[in-house]
Amino acid sequence: MPKELLVRLKTALMEEYQSLSQIEIPAAETRRLASLKQLKALLKLFFPQRSVGNTMGRLMELLLDAKDKEICVRSLAEEFPPAREQRHNLQQAMAALEKLGLTITATRAPKDGETAEDEPVLRIHFAEAESAE
């Protein structure tokens, strides 16, 4: 292929990619937000007692937004203060998510720059990953 044709093809592909990314990313984000809203509504519906469903929905939202799809349990104290456990029922919500198979609670070895102690993390559980192993 002539170099000029390759340059034009590359330019056309870049323009197409940019136009698609401008269209698809906002649409995907809109779908993600709608799906998250539906998930939270279902959790509230099926777990109405003592705001457990609300807490489960918020935990899933935090997990989906987390970089590695995991959250250190210790960091949840900011969002759900231990003094207000009666109100948000964090432990009950975490247990319900694990019982449903949506999350797992595990210990994670510290990463570089972290304390030398293993700490518990809440992690999204992907069934596909388990069956592929």
- State pLDDT tens for residues 82-123: 888 888 899 999 998 888 888 888 887 666 666 656 677 778
Number of domains in the chain: 1
Token pair for 96? 């319900």
Nearest residue to 73 (alpha-carbon basis) of 30, 112, 36, 117 = 117
Q: Residue 52 in contact with residue 113, Cβ under 8 Å?
A: no
Q: CATH code at 48?
A: 1.10.10.10
Distance spanning both ends of the chain, measured CA to CA: 44
Q: Domain containing 27: what range?
A: 3-132
Specify the pLDDT at position 122.
78
CA-nearest of 108, 105, 103 to 125 is 103
Q: For the whole model, what pTM was predicted?
A: 0.68
